[in-house]
Amino acid sequence: MSNIRLRLPDSLHEAVRQIAEEDGVSINQFITTAVAEKVAVLKAEQLFQARAAQGSRARYEAALAAVPDVPPDEHDRRTSTDSPPASSACDEAAESGQ
């Protein structure tokens, strides 16, 4: 295991101390977990970008074209209390012609 010396502004150190105390963990454990979470997010982003680079708009549209145009089953239908669907990166790319 490695040791590092870390300089934090006093305000950030105090915030970390308070949160770690509330969570019942040491500052070291809190920072270790925060770094692990950040590393996981960055690695996932790299994976998604690599997978996206393998994709093709033509194959995506061909797959969508193969789906039958039928109404959803009763249990899959939206109700008036459902929130509207969020737009996705695919929707935004389609709108921009990419």
Question: What's the whole-model pTM score?
Answer: 0.58
How high is the pLDDT of residue 97?
Answer: 57
The three-class DSSP label of residue 80 is coil
Confidence of residue 89 (pLDDT cuts 50, 70, 90): low
How high is the pLDDT of residue 78?
Answer: 86
Tens digit of each residue's pLDDT (9 = 90 or more) over 5-39: 999 999 999 999 999 999 999 999 999 999 999 99
Could you give the CA distance from residue 79 to residue 59 in angstroms, rounded to a whole number? Answer: 32
Residue 85 is which amino acid?
P
Tens digit of each residue's pLDDT (9 = 90 or more) over 62-73: 999 999 999 989
Q: Which two tokens stand for residue 94?
A: 């389609």
- Please report how the helices 10-23 and 27-53 are oriented relative to each other, as an axis angle in degrees rounded to 10: 100
